[in-house]
């Protein structure tokens, strides 16, 4: 099994788990608070972008690799992540696009992503620049897993991720923290010798 095959399998696992969370949203909860200023609908719309970007980016080949792996992707888009208004606007629009059947819409997006992944490990054009598809997928596993937890908390259902998904997210988060120069702070926090500063996040 190639690296791409392994990451596709994990992406599918994360996607299946995320969709199972969406399936537990009751009809009257879509406008309820979820994450910060986001409603449940907005959060699910944002979650769905982990399917739509795979579809869109897979169809946009890049001429060269600009971003070598998933940790570098998060470092490269740090400026975009700091623009909360832009992220909020995209999430809100994605939520509206789900229409009257959000679960059905999310399942359709997941199916489209599965079709898009029936390909080779080509270089795709992302918002951070050209990346191998296999290097981009861990960023989508990261987003699907984290936002599955956010959604579970918002609607009051068990939030436990598949262990493989949680492991992938943790590995990526630690590597991003290391490359940002936060190794010692993270080491101390994980071993009971200190705490991370209030609000610390790699995204």
Query: pLDDT 10s per residue in the chain (203 long)?
Result: 789 999 999 999 999 999 999 999 999 999 999 999 999 999 999 999 999 999 999 999 999 999 999 999 999 999 888 888 889 999 999 999 999 999 999 999 999 999 999 999 999 999 999 999 999 999 999 999 999 999 999 999 999 999 999 999 999 999 999 999 999 999 999 999 999 999 999 99
Confirm if 33 and 41 have CB atoms less than 8 A apart: no
In this prediction, residue 4 carries a pLDDT of 97
Tell me, yes or no, whether 42 lies in a domain.
yes
Tell me, yes or no, whether 190 lies in a domain.
no
Query: 126-140: string of b/e by CB count within 10 Å (b at 16+)?
Result: bebbbbbbbbbbbbb
In this prediction, residue 27 carries a pLDDT of 92
* Cα–Cα nearest to 42, from 50, 51, 33: 33
Tell me, yes or no, whether 102 lies in a domain.
yes
Tell me, yes or no, whether 65 lies in a domain.
yes
Tell me, yes or no, whether 45 lies in a domain.
yes
Confirm if 33 and 184 have CB atoms less than 8 A apart: no
Tell me, yes or no, whether 7 lies in a domain.
yes
Please report the DSSP string for 38-53 in residue order: EEHHHHHHHHHHHHHH
Structural domain span for residue 72 = 3-160
In this prediction, residue 18 carries a pLDDT of 98
In this prediction, residue 142 carries a pLDDT of 98
Count up the domains in the chain and report the number: 1
Confirm if 59 and 125 have CB atoms less than 8 A apart: no
Tell me, yes or no, whether 189 lies in a domain.
no
In this prediction, residue 80 carries a pLDDT of 85
CATH number at residue 85: 1.20.120.450
Tell me, yes or no, whether 188 lies in a domain.
no
């Amino acid at each position: 099994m190639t690296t791409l095959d392994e990451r596709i399998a994990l992406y599918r696992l994360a996607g299946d788990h995320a969709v199972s969370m969406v399936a537990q949203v009751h009809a009257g909860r879509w406008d309820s608070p979820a994450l910060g200023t986001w409603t449940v609908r907005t959060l699910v719309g944002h979650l769905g972008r982990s399917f739509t970007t795979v579809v869109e980016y897979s169809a946009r080949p890049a001429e060269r690799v600009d971003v070598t792996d998933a940790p570098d992707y998060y470092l490269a888009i740090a400026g975009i992540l700091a623009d909360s208004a832009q992220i909020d606007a995209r999430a809100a629009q994605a939520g509206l696009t789900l229409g009257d059947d959000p679960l059905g819409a999310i399942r359709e997006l997941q199916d489209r992503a599965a079709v898009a992944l029936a390909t080779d490990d080509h270089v795709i054009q992302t918002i951070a620049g050209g990346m191998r598809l296999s290097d981009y997928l861990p960023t989508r596993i990261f987003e699907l897993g984290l936002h599955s937890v956010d959604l579970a908390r918002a609607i009051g259902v068990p939030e436990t991720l598949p262990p493989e998904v949680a492991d992938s997210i943790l590995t990526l988060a630690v590597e991003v923290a290391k490359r940002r120069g936060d190794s010692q702070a993270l080491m101390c926090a994980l071993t009971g010798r200190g705490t991370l500063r209030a609000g610390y996040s790699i995204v």
